[in-house]
Amino acid sequence: LINDARRRLPPGPRPLPIIGNILHISSKLPHRALARLAGRHGAPLMAVRLGASLFVVASSPSAAREILQTHNASLSGRSPADAWSAGGHGANSVFVLQPGGRKWRVLRRLGTAHVLSRRRSERPPRGVVSVRRAAFAATARLLWRAMFSDELGEAALQGLYDFVREAMALVMTPNVSDFFPCVAAADLQGVRRRMAPLVARIYRLMDGQIECRMRARGSDGRDAPRSNDLLDAMLDVSEEQGDGSGVSIVNRDVIRAFCTDLFIAGLDTSSNTIEWAMAELLQNPQTMRTLQEELRTVLGSKAQVEDSDIDKLPYLRAVIKETFRLHSVVPLMCYRAEVTVQVQGYTIPQGSNVLVNAWAIHHDADVWTEPHKFLPERFLDKGIEFFGRNFEFIPFGSGRHICLGLPLANRMLHTMLGSLLHQFEWNLTEHDRASGVDMTEKFGLVLSMATPLHATVKRKQH
């Protein structure tokens, strides 16, 4: 396989070293297997072969910069899992649309302008809680309100929860259709067939909101009373956008696919980040005390962290950055080379999959001292931000595909974690105090804790 792949490389300054195989990329924790491989071979850029596909893996800040900045236009294609095409979702999904294309640009613009958070205090947790479940519910309510200006009911919350669990498990199923695209149409393992009803179910949830809003707008359309949320903005665009053929770029299919994508992208990333942060804080009592002291000093008797407080809370910002670094919930970012390009003197053939291993970069001992320790202080005197310009710290990616929800996630995580810690006293359960917190990772579309964290919670007396 290795020799075959080398023969197929077009002539270039240097052939890319192929040093990995199926064992690395399909390992249970591929971000760690690939980081070890890159470290062992001193190869910040390397190639791994899997089935008919060539994967190029970048594991250093400078390789990431070349992929995400210098050659971003050529290297920002996507090779979506076959399951993604179930129910026609792939045709309208912002994750996989051709970047730079008209539909992709309209969706990115709408998302950037309208995925805004409107805050409201959350229902207080009580007793022993699953941190991830509580954070998932809080994030879902917030996103639902930002998109639809409506309260999320329990049944819809459960629907979102089930969809994210079941659909993501299917997308992560090793699927012969992905390794050998020539047989994808046959859907030999039935992954796409099993995904279709899940997509149909979540679309029905979105349709409920779309229909209700369309009825409220009635024949007045734009002149009807407005909520000025994402849904209103999309319906406006659906009325005005036409490509001359009278067909709108943003039609009903696009609206429900985009809303679905935002839930897929926003729910598990945010709730798992809160869970990792809480797991670290509960095991680092001094860090927890320092953070709660900062919250007490800045907020006083005010219950909630508001957007305007975030700038005054440097230690909270450092804790969240350190959580992003140590527990990057999107450890591997995947692209496709649209044309053959040279990166760091190596040839990346057209059609290769290109992986940026953010986890490896965030644990690179040449960049970070004691990279495996949770030390928020490392960010206090450094101007390192996660907006895609510091390539040693890219939890939200960089370049054309940089996270669309970054500003929302940034505000949401600070206000949520800050408020939870300011209002409540959190402690490990007796079981975890005795046996320790299980920090084992589980790889999926999002990197989560293999054993969900439970904690006891009590309202504080201020």
- Name the residues that contact ligand HEM, by CB under 6 A: 94-95, 115, 143, 261-262, 265-266, 269-270, 273, 329-330, 333, 395-397, 401-405, 408-409
Asked if 157 and 168 touch (Cβ cutoff 8 Å), the reply is no
Main-chain phi, psi angles of 341, to 5 degrees = -135, 160
| Residue 30 C-beta: closest distance to ligand HEM, Å | 16
| Residue 219 C-beta: closest distance to ligand HEM, Å | 31
| Residue 127 C-beta: closest distance to ligand HEM, Å | 26
Residue with the CB atom nearest ligand HEM in the bound state: 405
Asked if 429 and 127 touch (Cβ cutoff 8 Å), the reply is no
Tokens describing residue 177: 């259709």
Residue among 135, 176, 425 at smallest CA distance from 292: 425
Of the pair 18, 274, the CB lying nearest ligand HEM is at 274
Tokens describing residue 37: 């491989």
Of the pair 288, 409, the CB lying nearest ligand HEM is at 409
Three-class secondary structure of residue 438 per DSSP = coil
Of the pair 53, 76, the CB lying nearest ligand HEM is at 76
Asked if 422 and 462 touch (Cβ cutoff 8 Å), the reply is no
What lies within 8 Å, CB to CB, of 284 at 6+ separation is: 374
Tokens describing residue 353: 């999959």
Of the pair 45, 265, the CB lying nearest ligand HEM is at 265
Residue 131, amino acid: V
Of the pair 12, 407, the CB lying nearest ligand HEM is at 407
Of the pair 53, 273, the CB lying nearest ligand HEM is at 273
**Start-end of H helices in 331-389:** 358-362
| Residue 225 C-beta: closest distance to ligand HEM, Å | 25
d(CA 102, CA 87): 22
Bridge pairing between strands 18-20 and 45-50 = parallel
Of the pair 18, 137, the CB lying nearest ligand HEM is at 137
Tokens describing residue 425: 């006293």
| Residue 353 C-beta: closest distance to ligand HEM, Å | 12
Bridge pairing between strands 53-58 and 353-357 = parallel
Tokens describing residue 110: 């709408």
**Start-end of H helices in 123-251:** 131-148, 154-172, 176-179, 191-217, 230-240
Of the pair 187, 324, the CB lying nearest ligand HEM is at 324
What lies within 8 Å, CB to CB, of 190 at 6+ separation is: none
Asked if 118 and 289 touch (Cβ cutoff 8 Å), the reply is no
212 is in an annotated binding site: no
Burial 148-184 (b: 16+ CB within 10 A, else e): bbbebeeebeebbbebbeebbebbeeebbbbbeeeeb
Q: How far is CA 330 from the centre of its chain?
A: 6
Of the pair 148, 432, the CB lying nearest ligand HEM is at 148
Of the pair 231, 265, the CB lying nearest ligand HEM is at 265
Asked if 298 and 315 touch (Cβ cutoff 8 Å), the reply is no
d(CA 81, CA 84): 6
Instruction: State the binding site.
Output: 403
Instruction: State the binding site for heme.
Output: 403
